[in-house]
Amino acid sequence: MGIAKLSSLLKFLGGGEPNETERRQLYKEALLMTLARASSSDSNVNPVEVETVQKIVQQHTGEAVSTADVRVAAASEIFETATLDQYLSRVTRKLRSDERATIVRSLAEVIHSDVKVTSREIDFFNKAARALKATPAEIAGLTIQEPVARK
């Protein structure tokens, strides 16, 4: 599966500038990586969290990811050299505001999906939101929308 390999993420962590197609792929990978890591942030991977990750990724990217894809992304070898928040801090400049907001709101959805929220999950959320430079308005889902033309 393309986004589960996190190849665009690895490519642009070094500072290269992606074209629009590559930037969109980078967003998909950042979404998957962040949500997958959230599913294991409290050391108790609940199947409902993995299912929620799959549903969100499908909804926001149009790409299906398997349970194995989610688990591989959660345990990716890229985390051997830096933490998720360090990677997100480097990638955030390449993401649009609405994409960062989607990642943060989706992260909250994954954390809530198993009903029990732990202190480790809260810490994970806060670190990810700070790394993504998410504003309180973005976290709340408030975004500027273009006015609708009247007929």
pLDDT in tens, the chain (151 residues): 455 555 565 566 556 677 888 889 889 989 999 999 888 776 666 889 999 999 999 999 999 999 988 888 887 766 655 678 888 888 888 899 889 999 999 999 999 998 889 899 999 999 999 999 998 888 887 776 656 555 5
H or E stretch at 129: helix 119-131
Tokens of 86: 């360090």
Dist CA 138 CA 104 (whole Å): 8
Residue 128's nearest CA partner among 59, 38, 44 is 38
Residue 48, number of CB atoms within 10 A of its CB: 13
Dist CA 25 CA 75 (whole Å): 20
* Alpha-carbon torsion, ordered 51, 140, 44, 81, to 10 deg: 100
DSSP 15: S
Distance from the first to the final alpha carbon of the chain = 45
pTM (predicted TM-score): 0.81
Contacts 24+ apart (CB under 8 A), 148-151: none
> What are the structural domains, with CATH classification, of the chain?
3-140 (1.10.3680)
